[in-house]
Amino acid sequence: MTTIPKPTTGSTTIAPDGAVVLSLAALGIDHRADDFPARFIAFCEQNDLYEMEVTAEGELLILPMTGYRGNKQEFYFAVFIGNWELANGGSASSQTVRFRLPSGAVLGPDAAWITQERFDALPERERETVIEGAPDFVVEIRSRTDSLRPLQNKMPEWMAGGVRLGWLIDARQRQAHVYRAGQPEPQLLDDPETLDGEDVLPGFSFPVRQYIFDI
């Protein structure tokens, strides 16, 4: 088993501080293989105390725990997006769902949503393992274990994979970075009271100050 040292500050890594990084190629595993999603999920289920992702380069990331506050932030967001889904359709998911991007990365956002049309078309194997392609909407919340730079590196991967609207919520700095398809740079919002779902999730409004920043 090969452990890769965590890259220094300023690199393009998406690994958060405290993550364990393993080379899958060194273990003889091809993360681009057709059967990799099923094998990956089986491995995760056998090691369900840990959250894991796979980078485009084929590195397995064993992620640190977010802690109680981070869990509450994710929980509150899940409640809001879940209620919106019940009224408007599509399919929302939490941090336990994984998406395989065209780059080969297998990533799990803190929250995501796909359209009803996409959900209805999902093959059974994807509903049971990993969804091929990026969600339409994605949220990453900076927890106590996260440096900002890895999340800022991760968001362009989501957008390049096909995400239409992405939020990077920085609870430490009380800021939100809003990523939109077709826009090269995110919009930075300082201490916003709410975030709007725009044309991707019409009518969706999340009270980010109350349920993320002020917790």
Helices (H), 53-94: 67-88
Q: Please, what's the b/e burial string for 14-45 (b: 16 or more CB within 10 A of its CB; e: otherwise)? A: bbbeebebbebeeeebebeeeebbeebbeebe
Average pLDDT, the chain: 91
Q: Is the dihedral of CA 13, 194, 143, 40 positive or negative?
A: negative
Q: Where are the domains of the chain?
A: 67-213
Which of the four pLDDT bands, split at 50, 70 and 90, describes residue 67?
Answer: confident
pLDDT band at residue 11 using 50, 70 and 90 as cut-offs: low
Token representation of residue 26: 């060194």
Cα 129 to Cα 68: distance, rounded to the nearest angstrom: 27
pLDDT given for residue 48 in this prediction: 84
SS3 content of the chain, % helix, strand, coil (to 5): 30, 25, 45
Contacts of 154 (CB under 8 A, 6+ apart): 14, 107, 140
pLDDT band of 35, cuts 50, 70, 90: very high
75-119 pLDDT, tens digit per residue, is 999 999 999 999 999 999 998 899 999 999 999 999 999 999 999
CA distance 184 to 31: 29
- pLDDT score for 30: 96
Spatial neighbors of 37 by CB under 8 A, at least 6 apart, are 98, 100, 106, 125, 126, 129, 130, 132
Residue 151: predicted pLDDT? 95
Sequence-distant (6+) residues with CB within 8 A of 128 are 38, 41
Rounded-to-10 torsion of CA 197, 128, 45, 89: 20
pLDDT at 120 over 80: yes
Class of residue 53 by CB neighbours under 10 A (exposed 0-12, middle 13-18, buried 19+): buried
Q: What is the pLDDT of residues 168-204, one digit of tens each?
A: 999 999 999 999 999 999 999 999 999 999 999 999 9
Alpha-carbon distance 190 to 196, whole Å?
14
Secondary structure class of 212 (helix, strand, coil)? helix
Work out the average pLDDT over 12-16: 87
Residue 8 has pLDDT above 60, yes or no: no
Q: Give domain 67-213's CATH number out of 3.90.1570.10, 3.30.1050.10, 3.30.2130.10, 3.40.50.10240.
A: 3.90.1570.10
List, for residues 122-152, the tens digit of each pLDDT value: 999 999 999 999 999 999 999 877 889 999 9
Under the banding of pLDDT at 50, 70 and 90, the label for residue 18 is: confident
Structure tokens at 129: 């393992």
